[in-house]
Structure 1
């Protein structure tokens, strides 16, 4: 054979043994088929482990498959995962060669497994002039045999961890490695056997003690099992009672469920319209109530606004409306001053007395020597004076009229009038109120100072004529200022 092979381990060129070169084609096919079957069995078993025959077999064939004996093995394995179209030309050549070899074997009456010496080199050499067909047949036979040998080596390489073919040195090394592994496994086997013997001896000793312990445990377990059996019987009886009660409850609930279902049907059929009518009525009532609620909210908001306005209004200024014009000062619409009719002046003085009475009550001020008597246009001031004598001391009461009828009196001839005395007394009361206000606030000070019968440097006497008008305006200004202060600092 002209083709040479290299070692799969050391890449050394090899010379095949004559036993391989002397094999005929049928023997080569038999070797490859047996090796292929082993490889296919191994691969198919790995790949078909997760497959179910129902997934790839029809129902008719599946029945036949189930009727087959389970332990039977096929004569020839075929891989379902190998392509069916590979090496078609090679198989045809191999079949032709096999037919030639079979014809040769039939003529020689030899067995398949026997060694048949086929030396093509000698047959060619014996023929001095070989034909072209004989040369072609010879080359085909040589190529098919080389392919078969390559296939055998590939299959052997797939089945083992080593790459075939091997040289003699590599084969000897492989054999030595396998021998070492075999010796190591034998030593491990002997060690495990010795350990197993020791364990058996220990188990025999322990079994004797365990038998005695087991007898005691069996007695205890028997007693425990008897008691458990009795407990279980009692438990069974109680559970049976509970089961009966639950069954009765179940039957009652089923009856109740049927009643409820009937009621639900009646409601769905008959009472649904009534419910819709009631819903519409409720919606109408709700809309009416909503409108009423909106009206109440609006009125509530109006009252709140009114209340805010009332809170903002000054009750003191409303009760005592004091205004100062260019000519006269007025209180609640009544003027006071020179060349004003006396009824209007008397009314204005009466309003001043009412204002002073209100101020003293707000300040909780008690006038010891004075008493205000508000009587409208005929108001009075009562003045108390202490009169001392040798035997006792008494208080004298003097009534001062804070009004005038413009009658002729002797005092007017001397530029003095009874109303002047009343107005001076009025200024004294205002001075007492000022002192009380200073107690509330040390920094307070009236806009216009009062000194005896003058206020702001102007005489309060009626007989002062035009100057009296200015003093009345200043008096009303001080009273307005006192009223504002009391509003801010008292509750």
Structure 2
């Protein structure tokens, strides 16, 4: 019985398998394959018959599966009766490959085909007769005993080698199970069918080309065509040279343009750096400018407020304390029941003299005939005859002529300045209802109906006359503030020379 290759799924369950047998695996689906149906095979046949039959069957399968090469070895008569282990020739090999018209001598006896060196399953050795002595691998030189199992194992080894040869010849890994072999066979049939279809298409094309007629040129026409083609070739070569020249020029221009492009990129990068730096500086300057403008706006608002605020209005605050008039909280006058010190009265006269002198000095057009000299608490008045009188005390209530004349001339100077203010309003076309009008009329030494003399006068009348005089002075100050923006730097000097205010 010949060994068979079957899947291990059904072989190992029904019967025991020799564990020493080699295990095969399908190279496509990777299922395990074993050799089955050879349990008593070594016992029924002698060892040499075993090995010979297996080798012959393997060789026959290879011969039948693959196309035989033209190389072969003729066995001599002495080699035909070779000892055990040499497989007989396949019965159909000679008939399939001998051509009837072969001129060589007739082939006598058996022969075998020689596959490539990698696919050889036998080791050859040269004999004296010139033939090839073939012997199977892994077979002892001595004939094995009938009960020896080494021939079977050598046959299996030959089978394994046959699978390797089949893999190298067919470019398909062996062994394969029946299902995979069937799939492979169908695939190869499909490929053979496609190849045959391509062959038919090529044959049809070849027949069509053979049937086409060609116009054979004469030698003269051929030379003309040749000259024409050579001329075209020269033109093409010239065009190629011109194209190469243009290519070199374009390459040179490209290099120049790349260099310029790099320079432009560097310039652009530097430009953006400088632009960013400039933007940063511009932003800083704008922020600084905005801060300065904000300060200017605040300063302008403050300036407008200062313009509307006259320094004289803050420097000379005129009010009253009951019947007694006050200037910067200094009382000007006295009553029998209210004793005011002469130092305070002198300070009040000093503040009044400083205020009238400052307003008179502001206008160059004003004819300042009567000069007032503010000297702190010791002011003086010079009349039109350049006579100077003291405008401070203490004085004798019964003999105070110089003090009375000083107060009279001060009152006259105040009247002249008020008349000058009214004349300015007329020049500026100020309406009469908005022009300066003194609340108390000044007539010589009288204010209203009270004289400003201290001699032989009651203290109450003298104090009222001084109060009315301060009231007229306050009205003149309001007119001055409304028509000027006076802020003399010397006012602080005059105030520094004046005595401290009383609360």
Q: Same fold (TM over 0.5)?
A: no
TM-score, structure 1 as length reference: 0.39
Higher helix share: 1
